[in-house]
């Protein structure tokens, strides 16, 4: 049997009671042989529910906040791999609470990097967002900063072997605050609201996000941003798939919202290479001569990867199947 990257390793997941953390924990316990999976989060009730859900002796629970560097360092003692999924991510809430978003998403990322290096962690990966690309809202700006913190954090590791990288992907189907559960709730009244009928988004399932993070961890050398190939979907088409007979009302784009999302902007093309799972954005300044286990010609000048110019679109049948799967599994499987 081929040995897994996670076998006999201690994995720490910050924000571990969220939707990604739960899905990753399930994946690690079911498909790998980690020595321990440490869940680091602020909510003791969610930790209690998670422990009851999995009932696995390899699970460890740490109450803490990524804003608290001392507590984070304690949680990192003896850890081999860190997955940083702790974030404030609701766009309107981040807009009106900028100090809080900065403390968690930027200062928290800095604390994770410091704790990883100080504790001799081998690999650390942060979960970013397509909203980090040319950000127009505070949430996107904080995720851009957290990417930079992780990428250039490699320069601070010195002689230690700690390596840090990022994954950047689109909207997670059915996650807390996302549009799918909103549409399903509005369907009861027969009227669905969309902000603009032109709006498009990238979509990824939780399971696909977990697999992509695992593939990225197995490939990373340090300083990369990994971007998956994902399908696009018009939000209004999703509304029609949820409720074909309902009235659809356009209410206008909200503050800090884009019509379309971009995962690789044109300015990044010159240091982006294709990868079997998507794209790898190489670091511009960190370890530019380091030997990397992958190769590829850089994308052509002017290349960008955006939801409205994507060549892969979800069909109506695929959207309907996605909605049916969400309803069959129940919101508890998807939401944070």
Q: What is the pLDDT of residues 135-149, one digit of tens each?
A: 999 999 999 999 999
Backbone φ and ψ of 305, nearest 5°:
-120, 100
Does any domain span residue 293? yes
| Confidence category of residue 256, pLDDT binned at 50, 70, 90 | confident
Does any domain span residue 198? no
User: Residue 289 has what pLDDT?
Assistant: 62
Q: Global pTM?
A: 0.94
Say if residues 144 and 206 touch (Cβ distance below 8 Å): no
Position 45 pLDDT exceeds 50:
yes
Say if residues 145 and 121 touch (Cβ distance below 8 Å): no
Say if residues 13 and 38 touch (Cβ distance below 8 Å): yes
User: Residue 39 has what pLDDT?
Assistant: 98
Residue-wise pLDDT tens digits, 291-308: 888 888 999 999 999 999
Burial label for 174, CB within 10 Å (0-12, 13-18, 19+), is buried
Print the domain residue range for 37. Answer: 10-172+204-229+262-306
Does any domain span residue 117? yes
| Confidence category of residue 331, pLDDT binned at 50, 70, 90 | low
Can you point out the beta strands (E) in the chain?
10-14, 36-41, 59-63, 81-84, 123-129, 163-169, 171-172, 191-194, 200-204, 225-228, 232-234, 247-250, 262-264, 272-275, 278-281, 305-306
Residue 77 to residue 80: CA distance in whole angstroms: 9
Does any domain span residue 280? yes
Q: Which range has the worst mean pLDDT, 45-54, 117-126, 154-163?
A: 154-163
User: Residue 1 has what pLDDT?
Assistant: 47
Does any domain span residue 94? yes
Residue-wise pLDDT tens digits, 160-208: 899 999 999 999 987 766 788 899 999 999 999 999 999 999 999 999 9
Give the domain CATH number at 266.
3.40.50.720
Position 329 pLDDT exceeds 90:
no
Catalytic one of 89, 131, 143, 234: 131
Does any domain span residue 166? yes
**How far apart are the two ends of the chain, measured CA to CA in Å?**
34
Number of domains the chain is built from: 1
Residue-wise pLDDT tens digits, 77-105: 999 999 999 999 988 899 999 999 999 99
131 is a catalytic site residue: yes
Does any domain span residue 183? no
In this predicted model, which residue has the larger pLDDT, 284 or 22?
22
Residue 50 to residue 21: CA distance in whole angstroms: 10
Does any domain span residue 69? yes
Average pLDDT value over all residues in the chain: 93
């Amino acid at each position: 049997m081929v040995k897994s990257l996670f076998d006999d390793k201690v994995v720490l997941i910050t924000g571990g009671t969220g939707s990604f953390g739960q899905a990753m924990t399930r994946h690690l316990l079911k498909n790998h042989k980690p020595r321990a999976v440490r869940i680091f989060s602020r909510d003791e009730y969610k930790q209690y529910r998670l422990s009851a859900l999995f009932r696995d002796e390899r699970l460890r629970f740490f109450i803490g906040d990524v804003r608290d560097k001392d507590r984070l360092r304690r949680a990192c003692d003896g850890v081999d791999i860190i997955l940083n999924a702790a974030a404030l991510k609701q766009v309107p809430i981040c807009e009106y609470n900028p100090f809080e978003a900065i403390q968690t998403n930027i200062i928290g990322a800095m604390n994770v990097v410091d704790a990883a290096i100080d504790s001799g962690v081998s690999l650390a990966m942060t979960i970013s967002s397509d909203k980090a690309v040319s950000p127009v809202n505070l949430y996107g700006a904080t995720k851009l900063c957290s990417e930079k913190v992780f990428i250039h954090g490699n320069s601070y590791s010195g002689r230690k072997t700690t390596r840090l990288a990022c994954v950047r992907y689109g909207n997670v189907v059915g996650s807390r605050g996302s549009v799918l559960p909103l549409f399903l709730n509005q369907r009861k009244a027969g009227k669905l609201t969309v902000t603009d009928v032109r709006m498009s988004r990238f979509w990824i399932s939780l399971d696909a996000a977990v697999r992509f993070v695992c593939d990225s961890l197995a490939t990373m050398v340090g300083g990369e941003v990994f971007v998956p190939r994902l399908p696009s979907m018009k939000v209004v088409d999703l509304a029609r798939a949820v409720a074909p007979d309902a009235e659809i009302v356009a209410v206008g784009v909200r503050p800090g919202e884009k019509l379309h999302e971009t995962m690789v902007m044109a300015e990044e093309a010159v240091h982006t290479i294709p990868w079997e799972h998507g794209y790898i954005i190489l670091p511009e300044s960190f370890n530019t001569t380091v030997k990397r286990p992958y190769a590829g010609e850089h994308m052509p000048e002017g290349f960008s990867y955006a939801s409205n110019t994507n060549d892969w679109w979800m069909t109506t049948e695929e959207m309907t199947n996605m909605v049916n799967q969400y309803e069959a599994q129940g919101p508890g499987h998807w939401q944070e």
